[in-house]
Amino acid sequence: MSKPVHILFLCVANSARSQLAEGLAKNIFGSTAKIESAGSEPSGVVQPWAVKSLSEIGIDIGLNKSKSTNDIALGFYANLDFVITLCAEEVCPVLPTKAKRLHWPIKDPAGVSEDKKPDAFRAAREEINDKL
């Protein structure tokens, strides 16, 4: 049996895009991958619309926490295969690792006005899903 692929999704706050990516990837890849997300400056909360937009398609991230890169286990880093950054308008965090780096610049849905959040989160969800 081969070892699972280890994927880390990174952004700044770990409250929206990287949370969407973590939930989608876990749903798509199941036990064939170990998936984590983190931020360089975690907000401490997962955006409610991140939770809602994934629940609309049957994925529950209601217990997820906004985490720092320092909260990720060293063993996970040691086996890391991919680091995927999701920043668009801000400077993405960089980790010293030999893992393959991918950059998916996705507009931050948390940065829009409250009335536009439902559509912005759904658009980010679909863009990430398509890339996965």
Q: Which sequence positions are flagged as catalytic?
A: 11, 87, 92
Which strand (E) or helix (H) includes residue 51? helix 48-55
DSSP secondary structure letters along 60-129: --TT----BGGGS-HHHHHT--EEEE--SSSPPP----SSEEEE-----GGGS-GGGHHHHHHHHHHHHH
Residues with Cβ within 8 Å of 72's Cβ and at least 6 positions away in sequence, in order, are 8, 36, 38
Beta bridge partners of 102: 84
